[in-house]
Structure 1
Amino acid sequence: MAEQQMSGVLHCEPCEECVREEWQFIRDGELRWEGYDHCPRYEIYACDRGRGVPPPWIRERILVREGSVHLCVGGPDGVPIALLRRVYGLSIAEVVAARAEGYRATPVEARYLTEPAP
């Protein structure tokens, strides 16, 4: 589950001048994410960050921008089921579906799940 920290909140409705950025990265062997919102019209800044998988609305925007990586789950060449459950908090039914169909991860999540730990 994602650990989240919010350091500001926008009070305006998003306009054409608003800038919104989200990204993921790996730091010290942990999956992390950050979000940044800025409205130059009202001089508003908001930052959001956390550990683990980002909230669904942020993760979806990352997937739209960067695309997804299809991961095989289980077996000798797949992502270990226990790791997938730990990172995403999947239910048994979700694991069964991922085992059958694979799992859609962001590029950073795919690297985190498939590269050996340092």
Structure 2
Amino acid sequence: MATTESQQSAIDIGSLDGLHWVGIVAALVTAVVHLRLGLGGLPLPLRISFLLAGFGFLGAIVLVLLDYRRRTVYAVGIPFTLIQIVLWYVINFAGGPKSFPADVGTLGAIDKIAQVVLILVLIALLRR
């Protein structure tokens, strides 16, 4: 039994192709951005939400690397990432007359590009 359990928890890189790696890099970028912001000087509830989102992206990367229900991870990852984009917009732009995209900032732009790429990759992987 120990052999079976250790085989199930092994990383399965051989089954990953270029599209997977683009998604992993995009998820890693957005995870790092969220963790960095979560460790910053934001109000506590917002800080916690950023940390949870960052760990969520990291957890998804681990699940994909372990080949654990990848299709489910792809399917859940699409709305999870879309919610991040919608919340970002609502928090930053829907509440007041800020000029879009001038107030996005470098970190925000990198994060949103990574998230859009991630969503496109997840849709492509799910459609296979």
The two structures have a TM-score, normalised by structure 2, of 0.23
- The structure where helix makes up a greater share of residues is 2
Q: Which has the higher contact order (CA 8 A, sep 6+)?
A: 2
Greater fraction strand = 1
